[in-house]
Structure 1
């Protein structure tokens, strides 16, 4: 039974999966937008929203946790540039927009994940 087992495996081992998500999240934070498959988009949205909430705390402990989880460059971008812009939002920092295109090689549905800024 799969009770309480959350998340997708994407046909990877645990270490590969963690590095895979780290690179996707790094690219999302640095570029503020990323196009990927719908399944990947749903997974990185969950993980990135938790990291964004952590960055909004604006203390040294949360900054060091961010560095340990996503790397220094992405942590700086999230902590100093993105989190202050999202300080008034209570959640829902990201949106997933389904793309009409499909990936050429296997026809996988694509989606765009982007930050929601209140400009």
Structure 2
């Protein structure tokens, strides 16, 4: 029986899992679409939906709660400035998980996790801006 098994442990310690999902949630917020393994994506969906719900509230306490879950301030700012207003009228289901085959090396099931109604240009925008700045400096 699997009573009181509320989350996937993913063969990691609590601290490792907390850091893993903080980084993955930040990447998902920044790029609005990432590719990862299926179990990680399914667990990240729970975390990302809760973060968007905090962003919809929008008060200072919600910002502090989100900042305690995320590692970088820029992710918190995008969450509250862009994603919160975008999903203000939506009642849950902010993130979708789509199966994406199997990884070549170890046949791990892969998935693409993305925000519903995402900004298509957000993926890789920071890298493109960084490369453009490097070209102008040279």
SS for the counterpart of 1:23 is helix
How do 1:14-93 residues align onto structure 2 when only pairs under 5 Å count?
A: 14-71=14-71, 72-93=73-94
In structure 2, relative to structure 1, the CA distance for the partners of 1:35 and 1:118 (3 Å cut) is closer
* RMSD of aligned alpha carbons: 1.5
- CA deviations over 1:34-80 (Å, ceiling 9, x no partner): 10111110000011101110110011111111111113121111111
Normalised by the length of structure 1, the TM-score is 0.92
Give the whole-Å Cα distance in 1 for the aligned partners of 2:27 and 2:107: 23
Unaligned stretches of 5+ in structure 1?
none
Q: Following the alignment from structure 2 to structure 1, what is the Cα–Cα distance between the partners of residues 14 and 26?
A: 18
Runs of 4+ in structure 1 over 2 Å off: none
Larger-Rg structure: 2
| Superposed CA offset, 1:1-39 (max 9, x none) | 641221111111110111011111110111000101111
* Number of equivalent positions: 118
Contact persistence 1:29–1:74 (CA under 8 A): yes
1:114 is matched with which residue? 114
| 1-structure distance, mates of 2:25, 2:84 | 15
SS at match of 1:36: strand
**How far did 1:93 drift?**
0.2
Q: Determine if contact 2:99/2:112 at 8 Å carries over to the other structure.
A: yes
Normalised by the size of structure 2, how large is the TM-score? 0.80
